[in-house]
Chains A and B, each alone.
Chain A
Amino acid sequence: MKRERNLLDTARVMFLLNLCILLFYTVVCLTTTQRVCASFGAYDFLLSIGQLPPRPWQMPLGALGFYTLLCVVSFGKYYLKTEAFWLRLLVCLGEIVLCLGVTVSLRFYYSGIALLVLADLVHYVRNSFYRTGFMAVLVFIFAFVRFDILTPGGIPFSAYLGYYSHTVQGYLSSLESVMVCLNILLFVLYMILLFTSERRENVRIQKLNRQLNEANTQLKEYAVELEHMTAMRERNRLAREIHDTLGHTLTGIIMGADAGLALFDAAPEEARKRVEVIAQSARDGLNDVRRSIKALRVDALEKHSLEEALEGLLENFRLTTGLEVEYAQQAGELRFAADEEDTLYRIVQEGLTNAVRHGHAKRASLALVRQGETLTVTLQDDGEGCAAPEAGFGLRHMQERLGMLGGSLTYGSSRQDSGYGGFMITASMPIREKERKS
């Protein structure tokens, strides 16, 4: 904050100094003209300059008028606080035009206004491309928009100074060069202040960035650890489940079967009862296994039917990512075996996620078609698509899941006539009739 105030103070001193310089030139030109006329030297003066001098009021009116506008724009833009690109660009261009206006009004005697505007714009413009552009333009103005380059035949400022005695001439030209040099020094000071403050800011940002990266790495490590822990816990739970249900049941079955074998000859009736018990406990065991597997199922499918779960999924995508999905269900009743439903749900979920994440799609279509015992899922989007997609983890996972159920997956660009120019996946899998009936 202190540094910011120092910058502002330097800028104010620069504005004040440049005002003094403008006044110096205008006052010298005006009073010299008046004095020349008052001392009957007008004809000789006209003869010495050999050309028509601009009307005397033009310089003060033009220079001070443009300078006042420049001050208004320069200080006013911080009150305006706009972030609109065009408005900011307009402010910068306006300042450059006003700077040129002041310089032209001063008949190119002084181009240091360009440094003032340069200091101001370097502080205002953050985009390095525009900043460099403005710097180039203003340095060009400072260096080349000069009296001796642009108007070599014009009336030099020295013609006005020439009216005075050598002593006064000396004082006036020293005053001129001191003020011009002071302006350059102030400009250098301003730039040093600006760049040191920017460098400090950069160092601070870099430090914060490093801290953020460290925190991010730590978070990733935690995530991996958490995954390990979850897998471990799940494995333990599975082991416990297998031990508690399948282990228990199998142990019972083995013991029952052994007893049945021993009784088989001595008491066949008893043995038959035992085998019935074994069959019952095997069924119970199977039920237990089913229940265990059910506990591992997709949450949505656990609570709802596949139909409802898919609709919920689409609605969820629409709400969270804005993806509008055209849903065409032509597969009749959606009741399949749990692993088939799981696979179907996962394929749709993964496909939609890919469309949003990689294709940045806004619209998609989902079609479920059943032909005999084959169910075909077609998902296409209007995203960026991909001419030669590499099968990532998601696609490979889908292929594996389908492979286990005897199905297949194809993918590539959408058909042009479909109205979706993005990516398309088609999954087909056979439906197990038996399971469906049960």
Chain B
Amino acid sequence: MSSRKKWTFGLLLILIAAAGGWLFWGQKQGTALTIGVYAGSYWETPDGNCYQILDETIEQFEQTHPGVQVEYASGIGTDSYSEWLAEQILQGTEPDLYFVLPEDFNLLVSSGALENLDGLMAEDRDFDPAVYYGPCLEAGQFGGSQYALPHESVPTMMFVNKTLLEGCGIPVPENDWTWEDFFSICQQVTDTGARRFGVYGYTWLNALYANGASLFSEDGTACFLADPRIEAAIQFTRSLNELNSGYTVTARDFDLGHVAFRPFLFSEYRAYQPYPWRIKKYTGFEWDCVCMPAGPDGANVSELHTMLLGINARTPHKLLAWEFAKLLSTDEQVQKKLYAHSVGISPLPDVAEDNALLEQLYQDIPGSVRFSREMVGGIMQNAVAAPHFSRYEQAMAMAQQAVAEGKIDKSSLAAAQREINIYLSK
């Protein structure tokens, strides 16, 4: 063997030994599972110790998975979380498992950052998708595949200014009220001279869910803007606005107690209704929360916002990440702690409709407890999750622009629908 061959051979041996050593060392060090998590509450409500439940869950997970170390970076606020996550993705250091804000879900899935969970779900015998409320699970679906597990859901509800209604001699509407009731109350309340208005922030999108319609098909290939039910929703919101005879109602008007209704997230009700928040939030009036009014072709249905848990598509620890996501999402003990601590509703019916838990939750809320076990179940089961597909944002913007431009007669809506369909079919 020539000396050159000896050198080459020696170099190869050293390389193989180094690679082997590195692998062995890596094995010995154990596995580190990283989690992306935001600080505070996403639902714009105060949150005292946001990491407590996560820490407890991590401890539980590390005990059942020896050798695994779960880590997360703390102190990332909800407003900077999306940016932080995008930075991690660009730099290739994104966590193995991370919370997905509802508005980021589309981007993360269409850019391929989230792992398709269909395979993991099918292979895992312990996992049963039926433990979730249907709409919660649907919130993590994209193009027919599951990309994220629901962690916590919040439906849109209608806030009611009880003081104002009582002043007008109108009772607070029941949970099964309709557009007719809604419109007649607004009509009775509105008095532009006395700066009293019916509703603030109620759009045709809120209305169309309550009228049993859907703007897009599930797979995102068709738009139904010219659907008569959607047309009715648009006309309904338009007639509500016309009550104000040209005045544009603002959020400040509501805060000052001049407006009877305002769509709001259920989380705010849970966060601010108990003492002392109740007094701090709105000083001038008593308030409550009811379901969204039902349209002629629909029910008291509202849109559901769901915080999701997604697995990094590039993680080497797919199974571990899946195990941890499953623990956070489907473990009843974890979900119960979360339900008690946070302000949303658990995606698990067994937790969300737990009588003991519900009683404990609403004991601070004065007056009649409107949210019985059946009520919560009804809201969650009938809530609507907006469909997810890659052109959703642009298509939605096109539809909103068409309506904002006043194209609300049948033929204009049909024309706008055609335009959006052409965009979607590209």
Residues of A near any B CB (own CB < 8 A): 33-34, 36-37, 40, 42-43, 45-47, 49-58
Contact = CB atoms under 8 A, between A and B. Distances in A.
B334 interface: no
Given A43-B82, A46-B107, A51 B90 contact: no
Contacts of B110: 50-51
- Shortest beta-carbon contacts, A-B, top 6: A55-B92, A42-B86, A42-B87, A43-B86, A37-B87, A52-B112
Contacts of B363: none
Interface of B: 82-83, 86-87, 89-92, 107, 110-113, 313-314
Contact of A52 (B82, B83, B91, B313): B313
Nearest to A33: B90
B107 A52 contact: no
Contacts of B111: 46, 49-52
8 contacts: A34-B91, A42-B86, A42-B90, A46-B111, A49-B111, A50-B107, A56-B90, A56-B91
Contact of B89 (A34, A52, A58): A52
A57 B89 CA distance: 13
B91 A37 contact: yes
A34 B110 CA distance: 23
Given A46-B111, A47-B107, A52 B314 contact: yes
Contacts of A47: 107
Contact of A51 (B83, B91, B112): B112
Contacts of B82: 43
B83 A42 contact: yes
Contacts of B87: 37, 42
A298 to B, nearest CB: 55
Given A54-B92, A57-B92, A46 B86 contact: yes
A428 B313 CA distance: 92
B341 to A, nearest CB: 28
Among the interface residues B82, B111, B113, B313, which one has the most CB atoms of the partner chain A within 10 A? B111
A52 B113 contact: yes
A296 B86 CA distance: 106
A138 B346 CA distance: 60
Among the interface residues A42, A45, A54, A55, which one has the most CB atoms of the partner chain B within 10 A? A42
A36 B92 contact: no
B1 to A, nearest CB: 15
A49 B90 CA distance: 11
Contacts of B91: 33-34, 37, 55-56
A157 to B, nearest CB: 15
A43 B107 CA distance: 9
A34 B87 CA distance: 9
A54 B113 CA distance: 11
